[in-house]
Amino acid sequence: MNNKASVSIDMEKLKDEPWHFPRDFLWGSATAAYQVEGHCTNNNWYRFESALDEQGRPRILNGQRAGICCDHWNLYKEDIKLMQALSLNAYRFSVEWSKIEPEQGKYDEAALDHYEDVVDELVKSGIEPMITLHHFTDPIWFEGQGAFLREDSPEIFAGFVAKVVRRLGAKVKLWGTINEPTVYAMQGYLKGHFPPALKAPDKVGIVLRNLLRAHTAAYQRIKEVAPAAQVGLVAAIVHYEPARRWHIIDVLAARAFNRSLNEMHLEYLVDGVFKFSIPGARQVVFDSGVREAFDFVGLNYYTRLFQGFRLFGDERYREVVKALPERLTDMRWEIYPEGLYRALKMIARYTSKPVYVTENGLADDSDTKRAAFIEDHLRVLNRAVGEGMNVKGYFYWSLLDNFEWAFGFTKRFGLYHVDFTTRERTLRAGGLKYPEIILKSRG
Ligand code: FCB
């Protein structure tokens, strides 16, 4: 379904609108363990750092390695102060499965102590924690078993989840189960940019299905252990438009991508039915028999893509960049704030349960686009909230510059600049726009 026609926003007019955000709105930033903590030596990405692609090039750009990264593992107290300095009242972060369960069934209590300390420090500082249980990385032992290709992967994952929630469930209300299942599945099993770097059209739908089953299994376990917990799936919504508007193949491909990689999340959450059908990959249909296994939707929104598809050849999925350079971030992602509104509208067609914008931000090393990006997206969000959409929080990606997966340290998303030799954090001028709006909206 394409609701684009019904959605058009005059960005100029938005500037005159009063702020509608409620007082208890969560204003946060987001990170993920492997991207900021450092000292991750037991997960599939650590192995990927030393792997080579088919041409013999390192898998991570420039052969970079996460190493001690931002050393958020040790510097989290300092980083929580940096959040306070920006008037933030929420923080979304992930716990690293490979640190907590280094061998299957063997838990490292010291790692759990660490995360409990982080939670305590946040709560003490007036910052609400939201924990992501799976953010792209898998323990090496789990990867060795086939990871989410396994039929029993949801139960394996839920065992880890139960352990974490038993420890932290009394202190943490908000839980995200799986971060961006479509990105994990597509990048790891179809496009080959994430581990295990497969181009396996017969497997991608299976992995995606099992990630969603893992969400449901996790949801059920969390509710057993901590009935008051609020649990959501974190979906990446990217609007797909045909690369060539006049070309039936691209039109159909974009439509299939929108259905199978966007609306699919909502259909699964609401009805328990999973349908994956994109050109060039094996179709997978599955009915979990479990409806409404979610309390909120986590929305990661960055951009739209112009999707092309070729019937033959190696590079069958081809994205075309159409925006002018001034509308592009360092990721070459188009700055498209209206898309945030479209994504929220799409979600609202399926459910009125709360939505958290769990990620939104940009890579902008020159810091020339950050302030306007933040302002425009928050203006759009303000419109949605003003229209009564049930949005309860916004998390900017990211607090700090960090390790951007296969791009290594080359993409800088931080409100704070990080010097990766000294670990020094410095607030960017563009980042100041965020607290400025938070404070204005609080009145
Ligand atoms: C999202 C990921 C996050 C970060 C941003 C830029 O897809 O969830 O870890 O890499 O993109």
Spacing, Cα 83 to ligand 1 middle (Å) = 19
- CB-based pocket (< 6 A), ligand 1: 32, 35, 179-180, 183, 236, 300, 359, 397, 404-405, 413
Question: 157-211: per-residue pLDDT in tens?
Answer: 999 999 999 999 999 999 999 999 999 999 999 999 999 999 999 999 999 999 9
Task: Give the span between the Cα atoms of 183 and 177, in whole angstroms.
Answer: 14
Task: List the one residue out of 399, 284, 292, 325 whose CA is nearest residue 36.
Answer: 399
Question: 224-278: per-residue pLDDT in tens?
Answer: 999 999 999 999 999 999 999 999 999 999 999 999 999 999 999 999 999 999 9
Spacing, Cα 395 to ligand 1 middle (Å) = 12
Q: Which of ligand 1's atoms lies nearest the C-alpha of 404?
A: 10
**What is the percent of the chain where pLDDT is above 90?**
96
pLDDT of residue 34: 98
Residue 165 structure tokens: 């929630």
Residue 334 structure tokens: 């188009």
Q: Which phi and psi (to 5°) does residue 269 adopt?
A: -65, -45
Kindly report the number of other CB atoms within 10 A of residue 146's CB atom. Answer: 14
Question: 68-108: per-residue pLDDT in tens?
Answer: 999 999 999 999 999 999 999 999 999 999 999 999 999 99
- Say if residue 400's pLDDT is above 80: yes
The DSSP output letter for 277 is: -
Q: Which of ligand 1's atoms lies nearest the C-alpha of 234?
A: 8
pLDDT of residue 7: 65
The model's pTM is: 0.98
Q: Which of ligand 1's atoms lies nearest the C-alpha of 363?
A: 6
- Say if residue 1's pLDDT is above 60: no
- Local confidence band at 313 (pLDDT 50, 70, 90 cut-offs): confident
Reply yes or no on whether 180 is catalytic. Answer: yes
pLDDT of residue 2: 44
Question: 41-74: per-residue pLDDT in tens?
Answer: 999 999 999 999 999 999 999 999 999 999 999 9
Reply yes or no on whether 267 is catalytic. Answer: no
Q: Quick one: how far is CA 247 from the chain centroid?
A: 31
The CB-side HSE value for 340 (13 A sphere, CA atoms) comes to 32
Question: 365-375: per-residue pLDDT in tens?
Answer: 999 999 999 99
Report the first-to-last Cα separation within the chain, whole angstroms.
39
pLDDT of residue 314: 79
In the set 128, 143, 180, 338, the catalytic residue is 180
pLDDT of residue 3: 46
Question: 335-384: per-residue pLDDT in tens?
Answer: 999 999 999 999 999 999 999 999 999 999 999 999 999 999 999 999 99
pLDDT of residue 5: 42
Residue with tokens 């609400």: 128
Spacing, Cα 443 to ligand 1 middle (Å) = 31
Strand partners, 107: none
Task: Give the span between the Cα atoms of 195 and 189, in whole angstroms.
Answer: 8
Contact present, 201 and 280 (Cβ < 8 Å): yes
Residue with tokens 């994205």: 319
Residue 389 structure tokens: 């959409």
Task: List the one residue out of 185, 321, 374, 323 whose CA is nearest residue 265.
Answer: 185
Q: Quick one: how far is CA 295 from the chain centroid?
A: 17
Q: Spell out the alpha helix ranges (H) of 300-432.
A: 338-350, 370-386
